[in-house]
Amino acid sequence: VDERKPKFLNDRYKQKRGGSSYLITLFCAHCSTQLLVYQKDGKGSLIRLYLDRIIAPKELTELQNIFHFSRIPPLVCPKCQRIIGAPMIYAPEKRRAIRLIHGSFLKKKS
């Protein structure tokens, strides 16, 4: 992925959220370790991370390929092991996501 010129996924989910996207980087609130880079669609606060919008790192982009929902691990800081979020299914779209724990992460718009 060329970080300067991200190629955003553009699909019905994005269109439903107004058609605009930006990149956001998440860090652990406890130890400041960088957790992931994410394509945020539309405005509004970051409540959950849809698995198909995680851009990096590779281990996390592969979560969307896990067949059994029950096998999707919680999102954990790789350094301090604190839990950042837990797998969920966003029912209105039947879409897999990570529900973020409020206060467990910091974010930076890029």
List residues binding Zn ion (CB under 5 A): 28, 30-31, 33, 77, 79-80
Looking at beta carbons only, is 30 or 95 nearer to Zn ion? 30
- Only one residue has tokens 């300067």, namely 4
Quote the least distance from Cβ 64 to Zn ion, whole Å. Answer: 23
To Zn ion, the closest distance from the beta carbon of 57 in angstroms equals: 15
Q: Which two tokens stand for residue 13?
A: 């989910």
Q: Which is nearer to Zn ion, 33 or 110 (CB)?
A: 33
- The residue written with tokens 């969920």 in the block is 88
Instruction: Give how far Cα 88 sits from Cα of 6, 66, 79, 94, 96, Å.
Output: 26, 13, 23, 10, 6
Q: Which helix (H) or strand (E) holds 38?
A: strand 34-41
Choice between 46 and 80, CB closer to Zn ion = 80
Least Å distance, CB 26 to Zn ion, is 11
